[in-house]
Structure 1
Amino acid sequence: MTVYALLISPGTNRVYADSAVDLTRTELDIFAESVLGGRIGGSEVATIGGVRYVTFEASGLTGRDLALLSNMSSAFALFERVDHDLLRPVELHRLDRYDDDLVTIQKYAGKTNEQFTKLLLNATLLASAWAGELLERRFKVLDPLCGRGTTLNQALMYGYDAAGVDLDQKDFEAYQAFITTWLKRKRVKHRVLESGPVRRERQVVGRRLRVELAPSKEERKAGESQLLDVVNADTTRAGEFFRPATVDVVVADAPYGVQHGSRTPAKGLARDPLALLAAAAPVWAGLLRPGGALGISWNTYVARREDAAEVLAKAGLDVRDEGPWASLRHRVDQAIVRDVLVATKPA
Structure 2
Amino acid sequence: MPRYALLILPAANRVYADASVRLTRSELAVFSARGLRAEVAASEERELGGVPYVTFETAEPLELRDVALLSNLSSVYALFAVEGGAERDAEGELLRPLPVRPLDRLSSDLITIQKYAGKTNEHFTKLLLNVTALASDKGLGERLSVFDPLCGRGTTLNQALMYGYDAYGLDVDTKDFEAYAGFIKTWLRTKRLKHTAEVVPVRRERALAGRRLNVTFGLSKEAVKAGDVQHLAVVNADTLRSREFFKPRSFDLVVTDAPYGVQHGSKGGSGLSRSPLELLRRAVPVWAELLRPGGALGIAWNTYGGKSEELAAILAGAGLEVVELPDFEHWVDQAIVRDIIVARKPAA
Normalised by the length of structure 1, the TM-score is 0.94
Q: Which amino acid aligns with 1:107?
A: K
| Structure 2: unaligned runs, 5 residues or longer | 85-91
Counterpart in 1 of 2:309?
A: 306
User: Is the Cα–Cα contact under 8 Å of residues 326 and 341 in structure 1 kept in the other structure?
Assistant: no
Counterpart in 2 of 1:293?
A: 296
Q: Which of 88, 91, 103 pairs up with 2:96?
A: 88
Do structure 1's residue 111 and structure 2's residue 151 form an aligned pair?
no
Distance 2:167 2:280 in 1: 21
Alignment of 1:87-236 (within 5 A): 87-131=95-139, 134-135=140-141, 137-192=142-197, 194-236=198-240
Total equivalences in the alignment: 338
Other structure's SS at 1:301 match: helix
Deviations 1:111-170 (A, max 9, x none): 000000000000000000112xx32x2100000010000000000000000000000000
Deviations 1:31-75 (A, max 9, x none): 000011462121111111110100011212111110000001001
User: Is the Cα–Cα contact under 8 Å of residues 12 and 115 in structure 1 kept in the other structure?
Assistant: no
Counterpart in 1 of 2:257?
A: 253
What RMSD over aligned residues (CA atoms) do the two structures have, in Å?
1.3
Other structure's SS at 2:104 match: coil
Other structure's SS at 2:304 match: coil
User: Is the Cα–Cα contact under 8 Å of residues 284 and 314 in structure 2 kept in the other structure?
Assistant: yes
Distance 2:268 2:235 in 1: 15
Alignment of 1:326-345 (within 5 A): 326-345=326-345
Counterpart in 2 of 1:49?
A: 49
Give 1:268 shift. Answer: 5.0
Deviations 1:278-315 (A, max 9, x none): 01000000000000000000000011111111111111
Other structure's SS at 2:305 match: coil
User: Is the Cα–Cα contact under 8 Å of residues 250 and 295 in structure 1 kept in the other structure?
Assistant: yes
Distance 1:29 1:337 in 2: 21
Counterpart in 2 of 1:71?
A: 72
Counterpart in 2 of 1:61?
A: 62
Give 1:263 shift. Answer: 3.8
Distance 1:11 1:252 in 2: 21
User: Is the Cα–Cα contact under 8 Å of residues 38 and 61 in structure 2 kept in the other structure?
Assistant: no
Give 1:223 shift. Answer: 1.6
User: Is the Cα–Cα contact under 8 Å of residues 30 and 326 in structure 2 kept in the other structure?
Assistant: no
Counterpart in 1 of 2:88?
A: none
Distance 2:127 2:171 in 1: 21
Distance 1:262 1:211 in 2: 26
Distance 1:33 1:76 in 2: 22
Distance 1:299 1:123 in 2: 18
Give 1:191 shift. Answer: 1.1
- Once the two structures are overlaid, the 10-residue window that deviates more, 53-62 or 23-32, is 53-62
Distance 2:94 2:200 in 1: 57
Other structure's SS at 1:82 match: strand
Percentage of identical aligned residues: 61
Alignment of 1:267-286 (within 5 A): 268-269=271-272, 272-286=275-289
Give 1:326 shift. Answer: 4.1
Distance 2:12 2:39 in 1: 27
Counterpart in 2 of 1:244?
A: 248
